[in-house]
Amino acid sequence: MARKSSSDSGGIIFKTGLFAILAGIGFWIFNKTSGEKTEQLPPATPGSGQTEVVEKPRATVPDAILPESATGAIVRHTYYTLSYSEDHEQAEWVAYELTRERLNKNWVERGSSFRPDPDVRTESATPNDYRGSGYDRGHLVPAADMAFNDLAMNETFFMSNMSPQVRGFNGGVWRELEECTRDWARQFEKLYVVTGPILSRRALGQIGFSKVTVPPGYFKVLLAPDQHRAIAFVLPNEISTNPLMEYATTIDKVEELTGIDFFPQLLSGLDEELEGSLDKSAWQVDNRRYNKRVKEWNVR
């Protein structure tokens, strides 16, 4: 092959330099135009085919009623707040207000749309984790406590609000405690409620692909702030024929069992004595409900 002359080499160098300059100009123009803001779409109108963006309502649960979180994974829904435990794929606690005003409203139709919680950053359990396990998807925040509007009801069906419960427990003594709690909320006008699984003791097992912990029991802590009264319950995750008040205890006892500090912003100083007191007479139960539980609910 013949050797190229010096003039040919000079032409190649010139063309290469010109190409580099043009490429640089093109790259600058691309960056300039791609960084410009796109045109904003007008608000969606009915029949326009656009999807309307609906903002999530502001959370209504006061921070002052929240326990301490061992995980730091706080999830604030509109009408209840929870602390999620990724290790156990369920909430370590849920907290909310239960009022006479809300309970006396006309109840909306009960939902049944169990679904993962989109606000759990590490992803919550799924309905499939419970399928074929033999355990109920037990509500921590009862659906009936949130039946005052559709949004409140729907939020209770997030899987972050579920925990594996023995069927006769969920529909038996746990149901009785939930119904009594609503009675007490009507009586005292307002309750602060904190509920959760016992995760500090040996589990009954795990279920599903997500390995959801099956707790050995559950707690419920109730504070009537206006009457300065408190009570707590610890119930084993099993069918029970015992009277409900046999499971009543103090907040202090539940704190020792779970390692959770309840109402740290509300019960401090002189109010701390309320955590160690228990006056069962202030929390009346309906014995007819107990009889119905033993004869009907336990065997369903």
- What pLDDT, in 10s, does the model give residues 277-286? 999 999 999 9
Does residue 33 fall inside a structural domain? no
Does residue 70 fall inside a structural domain? yes
Does residue 125 fall inside a structural domain? yes
| Residue 89 to residues 41, 99, 197, 204, Cα–Cα distance (Å) | 40, 29, 11, 14
Name the domain count of the chain.
Answer: 1
Closest CA to 149 of 96, 105, 104, 98: 105
Q: What local confidence, expressed as pLDDT, does residue 270 receive?
A: 55
Does residue 29 fall inside a structural domain? no
227 DSSP 8-state letter: T
| CA–CA gap between residue 179 and residue 185 (Å, rounded) | 10
- The CATH number for 255's domain is 3.40.570.10
Does residue 234 fall inside a structural domain? yes
Mapping DSSP to helix (H, G, I), strand (E, B) and coil, where does residue 149 land?
Answer: coil
Closest CA to 44 of 35, 54, 30, 36: 54
Its domain, for residue 131, covers 63-299
CB 111 within 8 A of CB 154: yes
CB 152 within 8 A of CB 197: no
Does residue 141 fall inside a structural domain? yes
Low-confidence ranges of the chain (pLDDT < 70): 1-55, 269-270
pTM > 0.75: yes or no:
yes
Q: What local confidence, expressed as pLDDT, does residue 252 receive?
A: 96
Q: What local confidence, expressed as pLDDT, does residue 47 receive?
A: 39
For 259, phi then psi, to 5°, come to 80, 10
Q: What local confidence, expressed as pLDDT, does residue 55 receive?
A: 65
Q: What local confidence, expressed as pLDDT, does residue 31 receive?
A: 42
Q: What local confidence, expressed as pLDDT, does residue 110 receive?
A: 87
Does residue 17 fall inside a structural domain? no
Q: 10 Å Cβ neighbour count for 1?
A: 3
Residue 38 in tokens: 């796109």
Does residue 183 fall inside a structural domain? yes
Active site residues: 139
